[in-house]
Amino acid sequence: MGASLTSPEINEKSTPLLVERYLPIPRRDSGEFWTESRIQHIRHLATTGKPMMVWDRCKSETNRILDRLFFCKELEDASLGDRGWEVPDEISVSTSICYGGLELSHPLYLGDMSFGALSGVPNVAIARAADITGTLAGIGEGGLHPEVGKCRRIAVQWASARFGLDLDVLRKGMAVVIKIGQGAKPGIGGHLPGVKVVEIISQTRRIPVGVDAISPAPHHDIYSIEDLEQRILALKEATGRPVLVKVAATNYIPYIASGVARMGADGIIIDGQGAGTGAAPSVVRDNVGIPIELAVAAADEMLRREELRDGFTIIAAGRVSSAEDAAKLTALGADVASIGTAALIAMGCIMIHKCHLGFCPAVITNKITDNPKKVLSLDTATRWVVNLIGGWSAELKLILERLGLKSVKELRGRRDLLVGVGLSDSSLRILGVRGVSGKN
Amino acid sequence: MSIWRRDIVSNLRLLAGVEGKTAGEPPIASMGATNPPLIEEPMFILDHIVSDGAQVTRPSIDPYREPIETEVYLFGGKLRFTMPIIIGGLTGVYPQHIDAVILAGFRLGVGVHLEKLLRLQLGTEVRGHVLLEVSEDGLQSPQNGPLVLRIEGVGELARVRRVLKSLAHSTQLVARIPSTANSLFYQEIVKSGFQTVIIDEDLGGVEPLEVSLSEADHMLKRLTINGFPARYLMGLIAASNRIRSSSDIFKLGGLGADACIIREAWRIGVDYKPEMPAHLLSERIENLLIGMQREIKLLMGAAGVSSYQSSIVGSRELFRAIDLPYHVCEKLGVKPAGE
Amino acid sequence: MGAGFARVRLDSRPSWRVKAFAVSDTVAFQIFSMLEQKARVEVLSQPKPEYTSPNGALTSYTTYVEASYEALWQAVQEVNGELWSDGFKGRIYSWGRFVDVYKGVGYPLDVYNLYQMGDRGLEGDLWIAHTRQPTNSPGRLPVWSHPFSSGDWAIVHNGDISSFGSNMELLWSLGYKSFVGTDSEVIAYLLDYLTSFQHLNVQEAVKILCNRFNRELPDTETVRLFYRWRGAKLDGPFSVIAGFSDGDDVYMVAFADRFKFRPIIVGEDENYIYAASEEAQIRTISPEANVWTIEPGDYFLASLKRGVIYPGRTLHERFYILSTQLKRSAATKECIDASHMNYRMLNQAILERIKAGAAQVDIINVRGQRYIGVGLDCPVKLRIFGTPGNCLANLNKSLDIEVFGNVQDDVGDVMTGGRLIVHGDARDVLAQALQGGAIYVKGNAGNRCGIQMREYRDRRPLLMIGGRVDDYLGEYIAGGVIVVLGLNYLNTDVEIVGDCVASGMVGGRIYIRGRVSPGKIGLNPPKGDVMQYLRGLLLEGLLSTKEYKAVGSLKDFSLITLRDILSPEAVKRVSKLYVNKYWKELVVEYRRLNDDDMTILKPHFEEFGKVFNIAKEVDRVVEEEYFTVIYPKPDTPTRVEEPEEG
């Protein structure tokens, strides 16, 4: 099974070793957002499909602005002692949402990881998991992997290089994503060296084997908001599908969001600083862009003020690590949370930050060859992602239940449910959340 | 905690070619960032500042295929540096290495700051690129190239002004002062005829470099020379041992520095050792500078900017502060992220 | 949504016409009495309400005052500074003797009606009109609409200036106290300040703002001027159209950014001079006008009394065709008349003809409709008469499109098959990511033609241009063939390509008739930086004075040139400035076309000659002329070691 997936022309030369187990989590010697307990939590969800906690205990380990935002209810629960952690047997809250004509049974988007950044099996696992769970998977820029192309709940990406795109491919998904930027490297292009353009990459990108694949930094047909409108309308004209625009969270995100809404897009995917990447110049990854929580709050605020919020979808991406993260982003104004890195962790990523070297111990981002020695088990990987979504959704329901809400839709924009602890006055103002000083 | 975090040191050494095989190339990383202030502990105001990524309404620029200008001019356009970097901190460097450092700087069109006149056997042409520190007496003899006068307190300025007025020859004059936002300092400096100011945190001062630099930039814009805003006739340089990377230089640029003097950063980057061969030192300095220039171009391109001195220097609108209190944001003139 | 107009008129009255938006009559009177108090300004007439915005929020008032420009400017700063910090109570938005501005919220026609511009029979020597989608500012109030005006300048701007922060810093330091907060207004202020207070002439001022790339180090005086005014240089995407009068003459200025990110086109006919962001707009007024584009980073200047002063192209090419003449004669009777159709209606009409079995569909009176043919997958012939809008033939698979006229931007993007023939010029970003089929353009083409073209299996795209092109020809090209013939420039010394040809090329081939300067191929470091480095090597004795002088005497050079002059050691050292991990060695040949070339090119040359009826000329060029042939050196992988992906 695995071999046929890495190469559509079944190669019988060797049977690769199937990877079906998690690796031990290595010890860390420097700062990391994806701490051991976050990885353990995701592994619990991915293996059991069951919730592990109501309130995210991992947030005390890191210092994101989101980590210092609490649902007031949690603080009340904490004062109640252990009773706050009781999980009721029956929960009747809804996590389904609908946007741009798309129904999602969970407010999750599986974010835009390309074939090339991932090594094939993970791409297929994510797409199949989206079909099984009724969510949506963005396929990224590497063209359409033949097995991914068999899945229904995918969003085909139109990026600056237009790899592997034609009219038929664009019409294959349920939506089209115009990728303008990504959180890990706003304003930076990509370059896959010719030696890595092997047969299967060549087929999906429709470029010859051995020729470098370059993604220009900007879209050279989109230099203005009017140009973007032109592209949105052209893609709608060509496909009849809803169009989402993916951007990085940067200085002008509220204006960009309102521009995107005004230009007729069905939604925006905002990718925050700190989001995952297969490879990015460190200097850009570490110094460009703003965190998703500020971006979502600012964009939502502007869209409301401009009366553009209704019927427009905000998908929040970048370091979304738990149902509570997603719930807080929803309370700040998002409709859907995007999970990328969390899905990789569910498939066995141990966060050693070596994707760009082509050697991945978890065989998720390893170098793509036509004859791999070791591949991730597709069935296992798919199950892990499906379980992650199930467990995640269950935790989200628990949170909604604690908040006394009937559905995730009721949570959107409920900043009043949040409180900031030890945040600067400027952050609190952007978030539109009241604050208390000090922590613990 | 050391200001020289492991990733910072490693990046510098990768650039210089001490580590890895891609000398002069901006290092590549994968998966999510762990940078301060949200993951790693912030140490300086700089750690709270981020730069813009151009998108939708502004195209970003690819520095590998399209031109991006990093050059900066000083002294009314008479001195051109190819990048906003000046090599300083040569005090601890062995005398036999000084020439190698200066020549490497000269080849790449990068300035060098010499804190005292050492055994300098270089011709007048190379001297033109060296910011040479002199005493008040040393001012009297005409020199090719800029002369730097160290001024540690406001009290010294009246005397300095008298000395400068008495000078018989015209010189490119630079004042090196502590990290201060004292307006008297800047008024006197403008009146005395200095054409460039180095704000040097290593000379002490009450304000962090970020604050004094930004306030100095704004003060010099309000002061005038013959009715014209003084800042546009003068150069402003930031110096500190703790300027760690091209991104620090870039952000200080946004707060008003035409260029930054780096000290410990380059010594750490090239893994400076007294016994190292001069040609190796020279090569590593070249790699480091070219690499840092490329990183600056990446940041500029990402922000949709193609001209450093006109679009980055003092251009606070391109930057945002993450979780800094309003009163600090106001001093810097930088908006909080999301605004 | 905002819109507005400006008119410049020489025989206006000599007193200043001051216009302000205010929330009420009381505020309006307050504004004008403040004006009087603040400076030596004499108000000659009472403020008169002129127009109220649809939501009643702001009314425009006009009055006339007498003052020196300096005093008036100072007073405007003071008044606006106070009013703006006091909420949106009011603002002076125009003060000029010859310039008059009308702006509001809504579509241009709304604003035209609100100001009763038709009824008033307004006349001007120069008119500017603008409509906008707000990007970096809210746009609910008319203060954010274009044109922006300062003194006797009025400008409209398309783009988003990335140097905005720097420009604002300069303006603050010069005493500007109040801004509405859009990047566009700074352009008006900068131009006015430089011309009114610094007494630079229009060309000097515009050159500073454009900040064009220099291939040579500029002279000392230019460096000094540009250094002093570094805060006035503009960066990022912009195209600007401005009107100005000094009382003696009326000037029209149009300029574009150094990367030519935004479109701008100028034109003239017997009676008028035009500038616009799309050709279709000029054609609406003047179907027969000569039109041409401005070079990247350059400007266009014309005046009422002198006509075109500087055309915006060092080579003043005015290649154009009279599309309307072709239209009358050639179209079939059953053609679609696109006069009153939007793009959806037009594509629908085409689809209906095809469904009805038509093998050829003719469309006349096309004027700016975008996306023509997008989404239609059938091998029919589409003949377009007029000026089709942007995104023509995007994603085209099988249509055979022939355009009798010029085409605009982003034509043939991700075309995978079929054919496109253009009997006129093409503009920017032609044939981006072209993956199959052929595009023939008889005239010139703009910036970034054939970028990231690529081939796959049996698909090998071809782009052939009869005229010349601007910068970044074939940037990122990975496959396919580009040919630039420059047929209009035979036997001239005109270079038929701009800068940065084949920058980032990784595959495919580019043929350019004539010799291309080496420094124009790929991205080269600034000449000054290379000379500086060589100077260093000279001082260290690694280079002889003779070698140094030999390089210095060259007008233009590349790493390939340096290899012929310098020692291998010196070349190795200086390579650092040229080579990076993405750098790919290119082969550049200057020669006649050979049999290998012709196996691919011959059928296309024949077809090109045939469709444009210039077979003889093409044959002669193919036979006799030398070509610069560029392709990546085989078997030289780039140094890049990591997948820069996702």
pLDDT, tens digit, 9 for 90 and up, residues B208-235: 999 999 999 999 999 999 999 999 999 9
Name the nearest CA neighbour of C521 among C552, C469, C475. Answer: C475
Q: Is residue A339 part of a domain?
A: yes
What residues pair up with C252 in beta bridges, in sequence order? C243, C302
pLDDT digits (tens, 9 = 90+) for B168-211: 777 899 999 999 999 999 999 999 999 999 999 999 999 999 99
**Beta carbons of C640 and A162 less than 8 Å apart:** no
Domain CATH number, residue A211: 3.20.20.70
The CA radius of gyration of chain A, in Å to the nearest whole number, is 21
Q: Is residue B37 part of a domain?
A: no
How far apart are alpha carbons C71 and C78 in whole angstroms? 11
| Helix boundaries (H) for chain B | 6-16, 95-107, 124-127, 157-165, 183-192, 209-222, 246-254, 264-269, 278-302, 308-311, 326-332
How far apart are alpha carbons A56 and A314 in whole angstroms? 23
Structural domains counted in chain B:
1
For residue C642, pLDDT beyond 60: no
What is the model's pLDDT at position A84? 45
Task: Enumerate residues 6+ apart whose C-beta is below 8 A from B41.
Answer: A31, A63, B1
Q: Is residue A16 part of a domain?
A: no
**Beta carbons of C166 and B58 less than 8 Å apart:** no
Which among A62, A282, A290 has the least Cβ separation from residue B39? A62
Chain C residue numbers with beta carbons less than 8 Å from the beta carbon of A234 are 370-371, 374, 391, 394-395
φ/ψ (deg, to 5) at C138: -60, -60
DSSP class of residue B205 equals -
**Beta carbons of B52 and A356 less than 8 Å apart:** no
CB burial string C479-512: b at 16+ within 10 A, e below: bbbbbbbbbbbeeeeebbbbbbbbbbbbbbbbbb
For residue A136, pLDDT beyond 90: yes
Interface of C with A in 418-457 (CB under 8 A): 429, 432-433, 435, 448, 451-452, 454-457
Which among C371, C582, C637 has the least Cβ separation from residue A237? C371
Q: How confident is the model at residue C320 (pLDDT cuts 50, 70, 90)?
A: very low
DSSP class of residue C634 equals T
Question: CB contact, 8 Å: A259 with chain C?
Answer: yes
How far apart are alpha carbons B124 and B122 in whole angstroms? 7
**Beta carbons of B76 and C580 less than 8 Å apart:** no
Q: Is residue B212 part of a domain?
A: yes
Chain C residue numbers with beta carbons less than 8 Å from the beta carbon of A118 are 646
CB C61 within 8 A of CB C20: yes
Name all contacts of C602-608 with Cβ < 8 Å and 24+ positions apart: C604/C438, C604/C440, C604/C462, C604/C464, C604/C483, C605/C464, C607/C438, C607/C440, C608/C440, C608/C464, C608/C466
Q: Number of Cβ pairs closer than 8 Å across B and C?
A: 160
Nearest CA in chain B to C161: B58
φ/ψ (deg, to 5) at A409: -60, -35
Amino acid identity of residue C561, one-letter, is: T
* Bigger pLDDT: A92 vs C569: C569
Q: How confident is the model at residue C644 (pLDDT cuts 50, 70, 90)?
A: very low
CB B320 within 8 A of CB B332: no
Nearest-neighbour CA in chain C from A120: distance (Å): 13
What is the model's pLDDT at position A78? 78
The helix/strand/coil state of C50 is: strand
Q: Is residue A41 part of a domain?
A: no
Name the nearest CA neighbour of A123 among A39, A244, A2, A279. Answer: A2
Among B126, B251, B311, which would you mutate to test the C interface (most chain C Cβ atoms within 10 Å of its Cβ)?
B311
Q: How confident is the model at residue A367 (pLDDT cuts 50, 70, 90)?
A: confident
CATH architecture of C1-137: 2-Layer Sandwich (3.30)
> Quick one: chain B helix, strand, coil %, rounded to 5?
40, 15, 45
A285 is written with which tokens?
């990854």
How far apart are alpha carbons B35 and C296 in whole angstroms? 38
Name the nearest CA neighbour of C393 among C379, C406, C375. Answer: C375
Amino acid identity of residue C155, one-letter, is: I
* Comma-separated ranges of CATH 3.30.70.1710 domains in chain C: 1-137
Chain A residue numbers with beta carbons less than 8 Å from the beta carbon of B251 are 287
Nearest-neighbour CA in chain A from B167: distance (Å): 46
CB burial string A90-102: b at 16+ within 10 A, e below: eeebebebebbeb
Distances (CA, A) of B218 to B211, B213, B214, B330, C166: 11, 9, 6, 12, 12
- The phi-psi region of residue C15 (left if phi > 0; otherwise alpha if psi is between -120 and 50; otherwise beta) is beta
C176 is written with which tokens?
């500007």
How far apart are alpha carbons B319 and C3 in whole angstroms? 31
How far apart are alpha carbons C453 and C475 in whole angstroms? 9
Which chains, if any, share at least 3 CB pairs under 8 A with chain C?
A, B
Q: Is residue A54 part of a domain?
A: no
* Bigger pLDDT: B234 vs A356: B234
CB C258 within 8 A of CB C211: yes
Name the nearest CA neighbour of C287 among C250, C255, C328, C331. Answer: C328
How far apart are alpha carbons A266 and A257 in whole angstroms? 11
CB C405 within 8 A of CB C321: yes
CA angle A169, A170, A174 (to 5 degrees): 110
HSE, CB side, 13 Å, CA atoms: give it for residue B190. Answer: 22
**Beta carbons of B58 and C237 less than 8 Å apart:** yes
Chain A residue numbers with beta carbons less than 8 Å from the beta carbon of C413 are 162, 221
The helix/strand/coil state of B299 is: helix
Name the nearest CA neighbour of A55 among A43, A39, A67, A40. Answer: A67
A47 is written with which tokens?
């293996």
What is the model's pLDDT at position A95? 86
For residue C323, pLDDT beyond 70: no
Of the candidate ranges A132-136, A338-342, C34-38, the one whose mean pLDDT is the lowest: C34-38
Chain B residue numbers with beta carbons less than 8 Å from the beta carbon of A426 are 321, 323-326, 329, 336, 339
Name the nearest CA neighbour of C463 among C432, C490, C496, C491. Answer: C432
Which among C391, C451, C646 has the least Cβ separation from residue A220? C451
| Residues listed for chain C | 646
Q: At what angle do helices A323-331 and A292-305 cross, to 10 degrees?
A: 30
Nearest CA in chain A to C506: A212
Task: Enumerate residues 6+ apart whose C-beta is below 8 A from C546.
Answer: none
**Beta carbons of B246 and A283 less than 8 Å apart:** yes
For residue C281, pLDDT beyond 70: yes
How far apart are alpha carbons C344 and A99 in whole angstroms? 24
What is the model's pLDDT at position C139? 59
Q: Is residue B316 part of a domain?
A: yes
Nearest-neighbour CA in chain C from A339: distance (Å): 14
Q: Number of Cβ pairs closer than 8 Å across A and B?
A: 231
Q: Is the ipTM of this complex over 0.90?
A: yes
pLDDT digits (tens, 9 = 90+) for A165-175: 888 999 999 99
Question: CB contact, 8 Å: C283 with chain B?
Answer: no
pLDDT digits (tens, 9 = 90+) for A32-56: 999 999 999 999 999 999 999 999 9
What is the model's pLDDT at position A118? 92
Q: Is residue A27 part of a domain?
A: no
**Beta carbons of C259 and B66 less than 8 Å apart:** yes
Considering the four listed CATH numbers 3.10.20.600, 3.60.20.10, 3.40.50.720, 3.40.50.2000, the one that applies to the domain covering C147-318 is 3.60.20.10
CB C128 within 8 A of CB C100: no
How far apart are alpha carbons C120 and C101 in whole angstroms? 14
Name all contacts of C355-360 with Cβ < 8 Å and 24+ positions apart: C358/C334, C360/C332
User: Is the alpha carbon torsion for A390, A395, A398, A404 positive or negative?
Assistant: negative
The helix/strand/coil state of B318 is: helix
Q: Is residue A17 part of a domain?
A: no
What residues pair up with C17 in beta bridges, in sequence order? C64, C96
How far apart are alpha carbons A343 and A43 in whole angstroms? 10
Question: CB contact, 8 Å: A195 with chain C?
Answer: yes
Structural domains counted in chain A:
1
What is the model's pLDDT at position C42? 84
Beta-carbon neighbour count of residue B162 at 10 Å? Answer: 11
**Beta carbons of B38 and A291 less than 8 Å apart:** yes
Task: Enumerate residues 6+ apart whose C-beta is below 8 A from B107.
Answer: B286, C532, C533, C535, C536, C537
Interface of C with B in 115-174 (CB under 8 A): 135-136, 159-160, 162-166, 168-170, 172-174
CB B70 within 8 A of CB B307: no
For residue C319, pLDDT beyond 90: no
Question: CB contact, 8 Å: C598 with chain B?
Answer: no
Chain C residue numbers with beta carbons less than 8 Å from the beta carbon of B232 are 170, 173, 228-231
How far apart are alpha carbons A295 and A319 in whole angstroms? 13
CB C468 within 8 A of CB C497: yes
Name the nearest CA neighbour of C316 among C336, C335, C290, C297. Answer: C290
- pTM higher than 0.90 for the full model? yes
For residue C645, pLDDT beyond 70: no
Nearest-neighbour CA in chain B from A266: distance (Å): 16
Per the structure, the complete domain to which residue A288 belongs is given by: 97-396
pLDDT digits (tens, 9 = 90+) for A65-94: 999 999 999 998 877 665 545 556 566 788
Per the structure, the complete domain to which residue B286 belongs is given by: 6-22+42-336
Of the candidate ranges A37-46, A83-92, C158-167, C176-185, the one whose mean pLDDT is the lowest: A83-92
SS (H, E, C) C161-211: CCCHHHHHHHHHHCCCCCCCCCHHHHHHHHHHHHHHHCCCCHHHHHHHHHC
Question: CB contact, 8 Å: B311 with chain C?
Answer: yes
Question: CB contact, 8 Å: C333 with chain B?
Answer: no
CB A246 within 8 A of CB A269: yes
CA angle A91, A93, A96 (to 5 degrees): 135
Nearest-neighbour CA in chain B from C560: distance (Å): 18
Domain CATH number, residue B17: 3.20.20.70
What is the model's pLDDT at position C643? 44
Chain C residue numbers with beta carbons less than 8 Å from the beta carbon of B77 are 220, 223-224, 226-228
**Beta carbons of B29 and A287 less than 8 Å apart:** no
CB C125 within 8 A of CB C304: yes
Question: CB contact, 8 Å: C239 with chain A?
Answer: no
| Helix boundaries (H) for C9-50 | 25-38
What is the model's pLDDT at position C52? 67
Q: How confident is the model at residue B119 (pLDDT cuts 50, 70, 90)?
A: low
C435 by Cβ neighbours in 10 Å (0-12 / 13-18 / 19+) ranks as: buried
Residue at token pair 């709050």: A297
